[in-house]
Amino acid sequence: MNYSIVEFYDRWGGMIWKATLETFQMVSISLAISVIIGLPLGVLLVLTRPNKSLENKYVYQTLNVFINITRSIPFIILLFFLLPFTRFLVGTSMGVKGVIVPLVVYTAPYIARLMESALLEVNKGILEAYEAMGIKTRHIIWHVMVREARPSIILGITIAIIGLIGATAMAGLVGAGGLGDVAYRFGHLRFEPEVMYVTIVILIIIIQGIQSIGNRLAAKMKKD
Amino acid sequence: MIQLKNISKTFYSKNKEVEALKDVSLEVKKGEIYGVIGYSGAGKSTLIRCVNLLEKPSSGDVYVNGQKMNSLSPAKLREARKKIGMIFQGFNLLQTATVYENIAIPLKLTGVSKDEIAKRVDKYLEVVGLQDKKESYPSQLSGGQKQRVAIARALSHEPEVLLSDEATSALDPETTESILALLLKINKEFGITILLITHEMHVIQKVCDHVAVMENGEIIEQGTVMELYSDPKKETTKKFVNSLFPHDIPEAGLNVMKQQGPIVTLTFVGESAGRPSLSMVSKKFDVHTNILSGNIIQLKTQPYGRLVAHIQGEKAETDKVMEYLREEGVRVDEVNIDEL
C-alpha cells in the first residue's frame, strides 16, 4: 500500500499522536515514582555498604539481593507475574494505570543501582570535611553527596528513561497503548509497514533528544 | 588547648591487626603552632583525626579546650567540631559550587544567619586574598588558591583550633611558602592554635614552635623546634634535620684531608649564627680552615646554621680552635667520614 504524506497523516496521524502522548504519560509518571523510590535506595546502598558510616551487612545484602532479583526478570514476564499485585495495589491491571506498577517495579531498582554508582563517585574527603565541620549526616547526604553527584545522577536518569521507553513498548499487552503498541498492532499484525517505520523514526528522535538533553544538563552541572 | 592522653588506635582488617597509634600523648598550648612530622605510615594522619574524633581512639582521652571529646554525645560532638577547623591535602571543596557557596553552604548548614554569612564570607576571603574569585568554581583555581578557599571555609566558623592534615603536601614549593605564611598570619592575627602534620621538615622549620617526631605509631621525640634541631637524639629525627642540610662531599678527598686535621660540623644557633667565628679562627690560630659545605636557615624565631669545615693544622692548634669555637657558643662535632 502506498500513501501520500497527506493521506498517511489523515489516516494515522491522530492515532500516532495519541500513542506518543501515552508513551510520555507512562514514562513520566513511572519515572517520577521510580526516582522517589530509587534515589533513597541508592543512598541506603551507599551508606550501608562495608566501611561506610552506617555499615549494616543485613540491610545492604538484603537490598542487594532484592535489586538483583527484580533486575533479573525481563519486563514482559514481570508484567504478567505482577498482575495480582497490580490489581491489589491500584484496583486494575489494565490501561495506563495498570502498567505503572510493573514499570516502577522494573525501573526503581535499576535507578537505585544507577544512583548508587553515581553517589560512590563523590570524593569521600569532601564528606569527611563536612563531618569535621559538625554538620548533620542528613544534611551531608543531601547538600554534599547528592549535590556533588548531580551530573552523574542526571546521566543515570537519562539511561533509565531510555530503558523505560523500551519497556513501555510491552504496555500494549495490558491495553495501555503507546508507540510500541501501535508499531506492533498495526505495523506488524496488520501489515502496515509504513506505520512501523514512522513509529521507529519517532522513537529514534525522542531517544536522541533525551540523550542530548541529559548530556548537556550533566555537562552544565559539572563545572569543570 | 589540645591534649591527647595515652591514645591508642588499632585497626582490624581481615584477621589482621594494625596498631596505628601506640600510647601517644601530646599537649598543644593555646596560641602555638605544633607540628607532627613522620614518614608516611607513621600514624600521624590517624593522630590528627583523633583530635576531632573523625577517628575514634581505641583507648585514651582527647581534650580540646578543656572538653573531653571522646565522651560527648553525637549532638555535643557536632557542636564541639564547629570550633575545630580542619584543612586537608586534597582541599575537599565542592566541585559543583562556587567559591562563595563553598564557604556559605557549611555556614548555612550550621545555622548561621544569612546576613552573617555574607559578612563572614567577605571577611575571610579577604584574609586569604581571594575577594575577586567569589564566583569562580574550584576547577578554575590553582592548587594554592583552592587551599586558600579551604582555609577561608575553616576560618569562617571562627574556630579556636585549626588542624592541618598535610595541607601543603600537594603544592609546589613556592605555593607552599605562601600557604605557610598564611598559616602564620592566621595564628598571629586570630590567635588560632594550629596542630599540623607533615612529612616535610621545611614546614616545621618555617612555622612551628613545638614539634613531635612520629615513627611506627609512636612519638619518638618531642620538644621545641630549636631543641630538636640542635640536639636530635633519634635516628629518624636526625634524618629529618639533615634533610635540610644536604652534605655532598666526595669521599676520596676526605681521606686525604683527614690526615691534615679534623673535619668538624659547626652548628650555629641564634646570635652565634651571625658572628664570623670561623674567620677569626684562622687569624688567631695557626690553622687553615676550609668550608666543605654549609647552610643557614631561618627557623620561626631565630636563624640556625650548620657548616662542615676542615681545620688544617697541628693537633695542639686544632684542639685549641675547637675549644675557642665552643666558647663562642658554637656547637662543634667531629665528623666521622662514614657519616657524611
Which 3-state string (H, E, C) describes B285-330? CCCEEEEEEEEEEECCCCEEEEEEEEEECCHHHHHHHHHHHHHCCC
Q: Indicate whether B207 and B302 sit together in one domain.
A: no
Q: Does B277 touch chain A (CB under 8 A)?
A: no
Cβ within 8 Å of B, A 128-187: 128-136, 139, 143-144, 147-148, 150-151
* Partner-chain residue, chosen from B109, B157, B163, that has the shortest CB–CB distance to A143: B109
Contacts A–B by Cβ distance under 8 A: 70
Chain A contact probe: residue of B13, B78, B102, B146 with most A CBs at under 10 A: B78
Domain membership of residue B85 as a residue range = 2-242
For chain A, say whether B97 makes contact (Cβ under 8 Å). Answer: yes
Cβ atoms of residues B93 and B101 within 8 Å: no
Domain co-membership, B204 together with B321 = no
B46 pLDDT above the threshold of 80? yes
- For the beta carbon of residue A181, count every other beta carbon within 10 angstroms: 22
Chain A residues inside the 8 Å CB shell of B93: 126
CA B101 to chain centre: 31
Decide if B191 touches A, using CB distance below 8 A. no
**Chain A CA closest to residue B12:** A51
Distance from CA of A45 to the nearest CA of B (A): 21
Task: Give the helix/strand (H/E) hosting A15.
Answer: helix A14-48
Alpha-carbon distance values, A64 to A112, A156, A202 (Å): 10, 18, 36
Whether residue B42 sits in one domain with residue B7: yes
Convert the pLDDT of each residue in A104-123 to its tens digit: 999 999 999 999 999 999 99
H helices, E strands: number in chain B: 12, 14
Interchain CB contact of A53 with B (< 8 Å) = no
Q: Can you state the percent helix, strand and coil of chain A, rounding each to 5? A: 85, 0, 15
- Regarding whether B125 and B225 lie in a shared domain, the answer is yes
Test mutation, B49, B54, B105, chain A, max A CBs within 10 A: B105
Under 8 Å CB-to-CB from B212, ≥6 apart: which residues?
Answer: B26, B34, B35, B36, B37, B219, B221, B222
CB contacts, 8 Å: A132 with chain B: 52, 54, 81, 84, 86, 163
pLDDT bucket at A209, cuts 50 / 70 / 90: very high
CATH at residue B306: 3.30.70.260
Check if the beta carbon of residue A9 is closer than 8 Å to that of residue A15.
no
Are residues B293 and B257 part of one domain?
Answer: yes
Number of domains forming the structure of chain B: 2
Beta-carbon separation of A133 and B157 below 8 A: yes
Nearest-CA distance B83 → chain A (Å): 8
Higher pLDDT, B163 or B229: B163
Quick: pLDDT tens for B180-191. 999 999 999 999
Residue A217 at interface with chain B, using a CB cutoff of 8 Å: no
Q: Which residue has the cell 499522536?
A: A17
Are the C-beta atoms of A86 and A102 separated by less than 8 Å? yes
B56 touching chain A per CB within 8 A: no
Nearest CA in chain A to B157: A133
Q: Are residues B107 and B221 in the same domain?
A: yes
- Residue B274's pLDDT is 66
Give the residue from B183, B210, B242 where a domain finishes: B242
Distance (Å) from the alpha carbon of A62 to chain B's nearest alpha carbon: 23
Shared domain check, B197 and B300 = no
| pLDDT bucket at B240, cuts 50 / 70 / 90 | confident
B88 and A CB contact within 8 Å: yes
Give the closest-approach CA distance of A53 to chain B in angstroms.
11
Nearest to B96 among A129, A133, A150 (CB): A150
**What mean pLDDT is predicted for residues A14-35?**
91
The C-alpha cell at B25 is 600523648
- The CB-side HSE value for B187 (13 A sphere, CA atoms) comes to 22
- Are B280 and B227 in the same domain? no
CB-based contact A122:A148 (threshold 8 Å): yes
- Domain end, chosen from B225, B242, B259, is at B242
**Which residues are B81's β-sheet partners?**
none
Q: Could you read off the pLDDT of B62-118 as tens digits, one per residue?
A: 999 989 998 899 999 999 999 999 999 999 999 999 999 999 999 999 999 999 999
Residue B337: pLDDT over 70: no
Q: Does the pLDDT value for residue A13 go beyond 60?
A: yes
B317 touches B286 (CB < 8 A) = yes
Which residue, among B152, B241, B163, B170, has the nearest Cα to B204 in the 3D structure?
B241
Question: pLDDT at residue A188 above 80?
Answer: no
> Which amino acid is residue B123, in one-letter code?
K
Q: Are residues B97 and B157 in the same domain?
A: yes
Distance of residue A161 Cα from the nearest chain B Cα, in angstroms: 24
What pLDDT is recorded for position B237?
87
Whether the pLDDT of residue B139 is over 90: the answer is: yes
Q: Tell me, what's the pLDDT at A170?
A: 84
B102 touches chain A (CB under 8 A): no
Candidate from A135, A148, A222 with C-beta closest to B106: A135
Q: pLDDT tier at A157 (50, 70, 90 boundaries)?
A: very high
What residue segments make up the domains of chain A, in order of their start? 5-222
pLDDT exceeds 60 at position A1:
no
Contacts of B78 in chain A (CB under 8 A): 134-136
* Interface contact B95-A148, CB threshold 8 A: yes
Do B157 and A123 count as a contact with CB atoms less than 8 A apart? no
Which residues from A are below 8 Å from B153, CB to CB?
Answer: 133
pLDDT at residue A122, as a whole number: 92
Of B149, B253, B165, nearest in space to B203 by CA: B165
Helix (H) or strand (E) holding A36: helix A14-48
Cα–Cα distance for residue pair B71/B179, rounded to 1 Å: 34
- The residue whose grid cell reads 690526615 is B259
Joined together, the cell numbers standing for residue B192 give 588560632
Phi-psi region of B18 (alpha: psi -120 to 50; beta: other; left: phi over 0): beta
CA-to-CA distance for B264 and B308, rounded, in angstroms? 6
Residue with cell 652534605: B247
The three cell numbers of residue B66 are: 578543656
Q: Which CATH number fits domain A5-222: 3.20.20.450, 3.40.50.11720, 1.10.1060.10, 1.10.3720.10?
A: 1.10.3720.10
Residue B111 sits at φ, ψ, to 5 deg, of 85, 25
Is the Cβ pair A134, B79 closer than 8 Å? Answer: yes
DSSP string, A194-212: HHHHHHHHHHHHHHHHHHH
H or E element: which one contains B26? strand B16-28
Please tell me the distance from the alpha carbon of residue A222 to that of residue A224, in angstroms, as a whole number. 6
Which of B180, B214, B242 is the C-terminal boundary of a domain? B242
Per the prediction, chain B carries an average pLDDT of 88
Based on the domain organization, do B177 and B258 belong to the same domain? Answer: no
Task: Supply angle C-alpha B228, B232, B234, rounded to 5.
Answer: 125
Which residues from A are below 8 Å from B11, CB to CB?
Answer: none
Rounded distance between C-alpha atoms, residue B5 and residue A178, angstroms: 70
Chain A touched by B90 (CB under 8 Å) = yes
CA A146 to the chain's CA centroid = 18
Q: Does B255 touch chain A (CB under 8 A)?
A: no
d(CA B83, CA B160): 6
Do B88 and A224 make contact, defined as CB atoms within 8 angstroms? no
Eight-class DSSP state of B17: E
Contacts of B137 in chain A (CB under 8 A): 223-224
- Contact: A132, B137; criterion CB under 8 Å: no
B179: domain CATH number? 3.40.50.300
In three-state secondary structure terms, B253 is helix
| pLDDT higher than 90, residue B268 | no
What are the chain A neighbours of B105 within 8 Å (beta carbons)? 143
Give residue for cell 613522620: B38
- Average per-residue pLDDT in chain A? 89
Look up the ipTM and state it.
0.84
Whether residues B194 and B262 fall in one domain: no
Amino acid identity, position B275: R
- Is residue B167 located within the same domain as residue B199? yes
Q: What is the DSSP letter of B331?
A: E
**Cα gap B159→B153, rounded to integer Å:** 11
d(CA A35, CA A109): 10
**Nearest Cα residue to B267 out of B240, B241, B304, B302:** B304
Q: Distance between CA atoms of B296 and B305, rounded to whole angstroms?
A: 4
